[in-house]
Amino acid sequence: MTDFPDFDRALEARLVAYCAIDSQSDEMSPTQPSTAIQLDMQRHLMAELEHMGASDIELTEYGAVLATVPATSDTAPDIGFCAHVDTAPQFNATDVKPRVFRKWDGQDITFPDAPDLVLSPKNLPYLASKAGDDIITASGLTLLGADDKSGVAIIMTMAEHLLSTPGMTHGRIRLAFTPDEEIGRGVDDRLPADMGVDFAYTLDSSRVGSLEYESFSADGAIVKVTGVSAHPGYAKDKLVNALHVAADIVARMNVDGQTPETTSGREGFAHVYAMEGGSSDAELRVLLRDFELDGLAAQGDRLNAACAAAESAFPGAVVTCDISKQYRNMRYWLENDMTPVDIAKTAFEAEGVKPKVDIIRGGTDGSRLTELGVPCPNLFTGMQEIHGPLEWISVQDMAVSTRICLRLVQHAAKT
């Protein structure tokens, strides 16, 4: 087995620096990328890539940073590695203060900015197994941003090692750091051609051993409700409150329990995640998810039926439902050529890690890349309790992922 240096301190330093940079995306913004602050992170990466000696460094028109680690073999495949720089808009990500617990003692972790918040190994068996590791959290008022800045840190550390270590045999390695993954806009249609690789891997999964090549298929819906406005003091038999109509739609969608908080495994759901407006006009935003296309269509049918029933129940209301495609289950393409999955499994085993094939109850940039012609399974980084103030990660988990990526490019050169 090839020996690699200790990557722990490099990974820790990178993740702490990256997480302190505000790069939250915004689905309500029409721009590309959706927020200018994501470009602060991208420019930081470009400077770092230039310093380590990467080539072909560019910031694309659509906000992605691309770079190359030149090949040392003319016969090895070209491989891409992708991670996203944006953080989730569902929770505060401004003024992130990363904290490092070196050789964590296994006791409850408290938070200086939120005294009532506790990260306890008593409730989290995976955390309990990490006593002695270096654990990174935020300070209690924000998420950490390890989703997916841990993936960025792993890819950058891998690239630095390849660029600074003569004698390693590998093909051309393309690095891609995308904006707006958290709002479903991470993969611009131009990205596959700009990457120019035979296959790729996203670094955007959780615990050690996780290897994913099956994701949700996803649609998004915008429901608009127009009521009938009237003075509330003289509204009898006149007013049709758009908020009541919207609430009726939400209630109908909850009747059969196909919501995120009541489903698991291969069960799909509809998730009403935003409602805004007033008594005259209201809007709902809905995520539709299922692993199979017929199940996804059924979720859309449920929503349309709820909208039609609510419109009928409130004479005078007008309800429209616009459903749009987001991404599709990457399995539909990867099952036709499992080469990148098989190479990853071999790399896991070479590192002494048993691969655990998981399904993603969500999607990654790999879902869209695969659909657009770049087979792209998803690998673990170690991120845990993401999108909230209890988010944490083990530096040692990140180091395992880094070594697996290096073994992966070495093994691919031999196939």
**Catalytic site residues?**
86, 181
Query: Using omega within 30 degrees of 0 as the cis cutoff, is the peptide bond preceding 77 cis?
Result: no
Q: Which pair of structure tokens corresponds to residue 154?
A: 């792993």
Interatomic CA distance for residues 186 and 307, integer angstroms: 30
**Nearest to 14, CA basis, from 72, 100, 82, 102:** 100
Residue type at 129 in one-letter notation: S
Interatomic CA distance for residues 96 and 145, integer angstroms: 8
Interatomic CA distance for residues 283 and 291, integer angstroms: 27
Phi-psi region of 167 (alpha: psi -120 to 50; beta: other; left: phi over 0): left
Residue type at 67 in one-letter notation: A
To the nearest 10°, report the CA torsion of 68, 71, 76, 79. -10
According to DSSP, the residues that pair with 19 across neighbouring strands are none
Interatomic CA distance for residues 20 and 35, integer angstroms: 16
- ∠ CA 398-34-92, nearest 5°, is 60
| DSSP annotation string for 379-401 | EE---BSTTSTT-EEEHHHHHHH
**Nearest to 170, CA basis, from 70, 50, 66:** 70
Are the CB atoms for 268 and 290 separated by under 8 Å?
Answer: yes
Burial of 304 (0-12, 13-18, 19+ CB in 10 A): middle
